[in-house]
Amino acid sequence: MKRDNSRHINSYKRLGKNIADRRKFLKISQEELAFRISSTRNYIGCIERGEKFPSIAVIFDIAKALNIQPKDFFEGT
Amino acid sequence: MKRDNSRHINSYKRLGKNIADRRKFLKISQEELAFRISSTRNYIGCIERGEKFPSIAVIFDIAKALNIQPKDFFEGT
């Protein structure tokens, strides 16, 4: 069943902010994070702003790339 | 970019187990959970066994239906 992501827009925005905060804490650029998960800087930017809705697999990949537990990205969502 | 979910199979299995544990703790059937998120018992079963890879929107819906924070489902993933 297709889910309506727009219902969760604030949760996705918070998820994106949590990712951005962790990335900046490690002083890693969007380009570098994109490289580590075989993606693009533009896609990372969209996720961090809550404009794209990543899959859980992407979240697992980003968590590994930023050396953090996936659950920490869901804080406050 | 298409992600390879199979790389995260153990994480998806843990995610599914966490959902099942919460559902059973509340003494709610798979049928009842399916009803609450407008899905099917079969789909819930597949998620709980780690055989299907739910979207984050589905996780948000299940978390709301089971009155828990989404991050709690990612414990140990």
Mean pLDDT of chain A: 95
The rounded distance, in Å, linking the Cα atoms of A30 and B12 is 26
Interchain proximity A56–B54, CB inside 8 Å: yes
User: What ipTM was assigned to the predicted interfaces of this complex?
Assistant: 0.92
pLDDT at A1 over 70: no
Best probe of the A interface among B60, B64, B69, B75, by most A CBs < 10 A, is B60
pLDDT tens sequence across B9-26:
999 999 999 999 999 999
Residue A77 has what pLDDT? 93
* A6 touching B (Cβ < 8 Å): no
Query: B75, A74 in Cβ contact below 8 A?
Result: no
pLDDT > 70: percent of chain B? 97
